[in-house]
Amino acid sequence: MAEPKSIIITGAGSGVGRACAEAFLAEGWRVGLVGRRKEALEETAQAHANALILPCDVTNETAVEDAFAAAAAEWGRIDALFNNAGTNVPGATIDEIAVDDWKRVIDVNLTGVFLCARAAFRQMRGQDPQGGRIINNGSISAHVPRPGSVPYTASKHAVTGLTRTLSLDGRPFGIACGQIDIGNALTDMARKMTTGMPQADGSIKVESVMDVANVARSVLHMATLPAEANVQFMTVMATDMPYIGRG
């Protein structure tokens, strides 16, 4: 009987990460739960035998390397990574954004993605059979910004560049890389969309949202494709959100 597939999911203690982890666990995958808060990861695991709790700050190089090494030692290989962990700061124009806030967003949303992709790539390149799949969480903001979102939007545009480069660099080693761009999935962080969000014309409007389970199903689809196929970019969003007409 074949061993179950394995995936590491960052930011697995809440929101999109938790929803995706639960979906993969329900499908019998071995899931490494990465996040800063051990208690939140334990809640996600909910006594699933296939869950591996890996407390880790994705901005810490040593912690990331240790977490991926622990997963590889436990499972023998890593088949996939969902690079999901991210953060944001309150909306403001660039002259009102503290440099420390800029650095914090870039550190988590870009350097954290780099460090986790780096650790996964190294493992996937060296394992036998060689290969695997990296899925990066972009955002609608990887395409167009919300008002007052310089750090977040810049970080997500950079993630797209990382995704494209990894897609090329991974080809000789059987490592596929794709990106999911998510719009208005209803998590605790996105609940404010149901009460009103700033629009490009200066107004405040309630925005449509979708169940986060739609994201989980989409990531699961991307991860379960055969090695010969890859979803390079997927946008999954609330049908009536203002993305198409933003601005």
Count of C-beta atoms within a 10 Å radius of residue 137: 26
* Chain position carrying tokens 């960052």: 10
The residues annotated as belonging to the active site are 152
Rounded Cα distance between 132 and 81, Å, is 8
Phi then psi for 30, rounded to 5 degrees? -85, 125
Burial of 188 (0-12, 13-18, 19+ CB in 10 A): exposed
Element (H, E) at 180: strand 175-183
**Residue 30: both structure tokens together:** 């071995």
